[in-house]
Amino acid sequence: MARIKIDLPEVFPFTIQIPVRIQDVNYGGHVGNDAILSIMHESRIQFLSSIGYKELDQEAGTGLIMTDVAVAYKGEGFHGDIFEVAVAAGEFNALGFELFYRITTNRDAQTITIAEGKTGMIFFDYNRRKVAKLPADMKASLETGK
């Protein structure tokens, strides 16, 4: 069976720590796939905030829409783990970009990779209900992570 291969960037300008909550754990006793998507979403919101942007700017009527997602699960996460999520932007085009995620935890004096992922993001004008060009200042901030 073919597996998803995600080519992560070498540098991640942003990291955040997210504790695993009991509701993140599924019937298998480990963090569920739906929780990984939620953790990626929270990381995306925090990354955007750190560079001065929002996923949805209600006043301007613009925002980002996720067009696709890929996740490669690498290890198990458990209640009580603290995930370190690294985020970087790349693969820019006129309308959007991809965000890359590396989720790890430290357990028993080792760093364990939990998942790697990426989300395709496009810029959207909610007033016109149409895809719009990614603003140059936003692209510059995403590229540097500042």
Query: Residue 11 burial by CB count (10 A; 0-12/13-18/19+): exposed, middle or buried?
Result: exposed
According to DSSP, residue 28 is labeled T
Give the start-to-end residue ranges of the domains of the chain.
14-141
CB 119 within 8 A of CB 44: yes
The reported pLDDT for the residue numbered 2 is: 73
pTM assigned to the model: 0.95
What is the assigned CATH class of domain 14-141? Answer: alpha beta
Q: pLDDT of 14-67, one tens digit each?
A: 999 999 999 999 999 999 999 999 999 999 999 999 999 999 998 889 999 999
The reported pLDDT for the residue numbered 118 is: 98
Residue 126 Cα distances to 60, 71, 123, 131, 133, angstroms: 9, 28, 10, 9, 13
The reported pLDDT for the residue numbered 1 is: 74
Q: pLDDT of 102-146, one tens digit each?
A: 999 999 999 999 999 999 999 999 999 999 999 999 999 999 988
b/e per residue, 49-69, with b = 16+ CB within 10 A? eebebeeeeeeeebbbebeee
Instruction: Say yes or no to pLDDT of 6 above 80.
Output: yes
